[in-house]
Structure 1
Amino acid sequence: MQAHYTTTYKHLSLTERQLIGRWLKEGRSRRQIARLLGRSPQTINNEVIRGQVQQMDTFRHYHSVYSSDYAQKQYGRHRKNSIKKTKLDKKLSEIIVHYIKDRVSPEVIAKVKLKGIISASTVYNWLYQGRLGLKRTDMLYPHKTKPIKPVVANPRHYGKFIDERPESISQRLAYGHWEIDTVVLTRAKNKVLLTLTERKSRLEIIRIIADKSSEAVNSELKVLTQNFQFKSITADNGTEFARLSEAVNCDIYYAHAYSSWERGTNENHNRMIRRFLPKGTIKTTTKEVAQIEIWMNNYPRKMFNYSTPIQVYLGG
């Protein structure tokens, strides 16, 4: 016999309900039954009240008695009704899967595509619970852990470090400040992508250049200056960016070695590009790259209350 009951909540089983019915018929008190089952007296009291049925005796008089079978049926009914009904049906699932495979984030799916009938966290939960038949890698931004690279002792120094960049640029107070990078598609010597991201509007420029050299980068930059305003450019320490000042008349800032987060906006956009052109892509066309650029610049952003980068840039 147990002298104490456990404080960890666990539902009564059918066997326990049958024992309660038997011991009540034997004349045991509810407190005694609680000690025998290791339960709280209040648990037994509530259970007996919920399991009451009317039973007629030989004198055709009705009495309230506890029925374990009735109590178990009531428990099953209440449990069924306690489960929150889900909005996820076949049609909604197909819509969400379609947009996720079309590289749309859960935030945009919930707010823009589904007009707020569900929240972004609900989409994430359904995905992580496997209810959509997708994996985390199907997301626009699949979470991966990356090894930390050691900091080199003598980093390259082509000009001003990012520490010297004015606070107004860091706070994205004005248009015309860009982050730049190159995206390599294959290890073999081949054409690469030149990407530039405008810090305030997140407008993206993607161009195919001949190779990963300063000559190829500068040649394309000179063309871009005819249509875009460059007040500053923030680059990494790659050799292809060593001579940026020769191509564009603006302030150039360089991030610290192995500190990609200092150009986080551009890095995030590069990850979006990888969804279309993963590593190992041998060939791509100017038309295909232009379509990716258009898609990115017309993609609704939560930070802009679901306006697009092109709307923000042109509105500025």
Structure 2
Amino acid sequence: MVAYSHRMVPEIFQTFWAGMAAGEFITDATAAAGTFTKQGTRWLASCGGVRPRRGRNLKGRCLTFAEREEIAIGIAAGHTLRHIAKALNRSPSTISREVARNSESCGRYRARSAHAAAYHRASRPKTSKLATNLSLRQKVEESLNKRHSPEQIAGRLRLEYPDDPQMRVSAETIYQSLYQPSRGGLEHTLTRSLRTGRKLRRPCRKAGQRKNRIPDMINIANRPKDVKDRAVPGHWEGDLIVGKRNLSAIGTLVERATGMVELVHLPDGYKPEHTARALTDQLETLPTILRRTLTWDQGSEMRDWKEVSAATGIDIYFCDPHAPWQRGTNENTNGELRQYFAKGSDLGEYSKTDLEWVSQQLNERPRKQLGFHTPAEEMERLLLQQPDGGQPDLLPVTV
């Protein structure tokens, strides 16, 4: 008997692929399908990044998994097939055939086994042209090894074999044979011969199609120029360090001029609403003079950045994608924090008191770039130089 899988349910599987094709992030696409990110990653890998045709545009012709569940419930309740058909707005003969074809050998009808049996029976695999035509396959492989693109290969074949349709193949067929091993024909390792060298195929999106996870974010290019000077305290860089299986995290804040570290406790996780609340609470513990700017990467946890900015009065800017050097101080500090929070550990085990102790350890550590003064000492020195005269209530709180 064929095992049931969510890949057999178009309402789940194709919803995920529709989201990916529309430019969604994988986290949003899996959420819309009612599954989790890791499952979406597996689906992408198994299909080579190519959206399966099967299960698209069925238009109600086939019974859905939800309808099979209703049939199973109705049979268990002792309802007649005609009564079940009326409830589902289906023909009685459709329900009758469904029960007769897809019941288990013992005569019991179960939705999962019935759906798996129907899915397997409906399979009509078509052999790839490159799997059956060895001459064509050899020609394509030779061209790929010469770094020719699929479009160049298809065009060249039409030129070399104008009167032989069997020696022609479309660029799309080549791509699908490369990225979908189940089709057969070409080795997946030949993807390294393509210009991108990608193991998974990515959809070609139009400009602006992919939605951004952070609404109306302000790019780092708009950040005040004097932030680079590191002469005035109050400009921060922020990020997360993530724990085992991406289930826990700690927020990290580093002041650019002094290297002063503040750690954000995230006991409830690091979803946007959790991060915004915890980050706001942490920033509000700082004197107003130390809340000038905050630079973060484009992580989805900062979706509610406007709420943080409005509550704390700090201006928030976002780095360019894949540009960690724009937060170099923070990146280096995150490396130091791994001395206390090992990779692969559960960061949810640490209390707020633990985080305060670690931040104190770092703030009292001599730094070469500070002339071997500590961040706490350098922060006190800079605050005393401020126009307010460095009043005691403006000094950062030490633990």
Which structure has the larger Rg over C-alpha atoms?
1
Richer in strand (by share) = 1
Return the TM-score normalized by structure 1. Answer: 0.49
Q: Which has the higher helix share?
A: 2
Q: TM-score, normalised by structure 2?
A: 0.39
